[in-house]
Structure 1
Amino acid sequence: MNLKDHIRGIPDFPKPGILFYDISPLLAHAEAWQVAIERLADAIRPHKPDLLVGIESRGFLVAAPLALTLGTGFVMVRKHGKLPGDKVAHSYDLEYGTDTIEIQSDAVKPGQRVVVLDDLLATGGTMAAAIRLLQQVGADVRAAAFLIELNFLQGRDRIGVPATSLMAYDE
């Protein structure tokens, strides 16, 4: 099955000049979504993760069902102020300014093997920040995985762990 048949390109969203890769049609098509989860499971299984970590918010859509499929736990990395309880934060630079992501301080035990997931890899900034945050709390970050990768932005070069993507776009 060609999963790209279930991705919709939306021009000029969220701002002019950006082509947004919308995964909504993939999520709405049960067979395609199942194929995507199975393919990601096959790619991630060799890393033997204890936990899958999803990055807010579309990363949750990928990581949670995949964790059920693989029989692992699921942990969220969220934007500042979205998680209750004690948290560990990591701030990182954006093109214009900074952002902060957080994880609950007891979500990952030191040495646990994790794979981090998001729907799309673009420049790699948020994924690199999530990996640094996880390493800061003692996680053994084995890999990152994505539904979509925008090869032309070279985000893979920034993340420092093996990466898997189901679909790639070169422009």
Structure 2
Amino acid sequence: MAADIPAEHQVAPADYIRAHIRTVPDWPAPGVMFRDITTLLANPRVFRVLIDQFVHRYFDARPAAIAGLDARGFIIGSVVAYELGIGFVPIRKKGKLPFATFEETYELEYGSATVEVHTDAVKPGERVVLIDDLIATGGTMLAGHKLLQRLGAEVVEVAAIVDLPELGGSARLKAAGVPVFSLVSFEGH
């Protein structure tokens, strides 16, 4: 009963998660406020609340798989997939997967990067949720989304713990017709 819980313990899950994300100023470059989720992962109570938010969101949607982006998307996505009793699809950096792959290259502030997925990772028509830790410029999420579409998957939603709306990634994804979900957002870079 909520009335029996002290007021200081009645915190919305998103606020609880947000309060446990460490901000590291000027990393990896001056002016960047890095949102570090390792503090969420290290605390078993916060990690449980974090995972439960995604599990509850997708429990009734019943996707066939969770796809996670290299590397922090693997941590979150694999646990969510396990809890939902569905498969996990890794979308990795180029050259890390041993079987035939599709690849997608995307632009970064300082160059480009390529991600890959196995050609048999999902079947056409399967419903998939794509997860990563953070949405910044949206390039990695868009590349992952394109790969899943090339496999014929229906991407139910792309999801992240953190959104940095000032960098325009979530707006870019939405403009491309991609459904977006994030647990918390932070102003700035």
Task: Determine the structure 2 residue equivalent to 1:163.
Answer: 180
Is structure 2 residue 125 aligned with structure 1 residue 111? yes
1:7 is aligned to 2:21: yes
Name the SS for the 2:56 alignment partner: helix
Q: Which has the higher strand share?
A: 1
For the residues of structure 1 that align with 2:138 and 2:61, how far apart are their CA atoms?
Answer: 21
Among candidates 83, 101, 116, match of residue 69 of structure 1: 83
Secondary structure at the aligned position of 1:90 is classed as strand
Give per-residue Cα distances to partners, 1:102-150, cap 9 Å, x unaligned: 0011111111100000001111111011101110111111101111111
When normalised by structure 2's length, the TM-score is 0.86
Which residue is 2:134 aligned to? Answer: 120
Q: 1:86 aligns with which of 100, 103, 114?
A: 100
Structure 1 spans left out of the alignment, 5+ residues: none
Paired AA for residue 99 in structure 1: A
Equivalent of 1:149 in 139, 158, 163: 163
Please tell me the root mean square deviation across aligned C-alpha atoms, in Å. 1.2
Radius of gyration: which is bigger? 2
Letter of the structure 2 residue corresponding to residue 77 of structure 1: I
CA distance in 2, matches of 1:50, 1:162: 17
CA distance in 1, matches of 2:66, 2:113: 22
Query: Contact 1:146/1:166 (CA < 8 Å) preserved in 2?
Result: yes
Q: How far apart in 1 are the matches of 2:129 and 2:61?
A: 8
Q: Which sections of structure 2, spanning at least 5 residues, go unmatched? A: 1-10
Q: How far, CA to CA, are the matches of 2:109 and 2:184 in structure 1?
A: 25
Q: What TM-score do the two structures reach when normalised by structure 1? A: 0.95
Conserved in 2, the CA contact under 8 Å of 1:47 and 1:143? no
The runs of at least 4 aligned residues of structure 1 exceeding 3 Å deviation read none
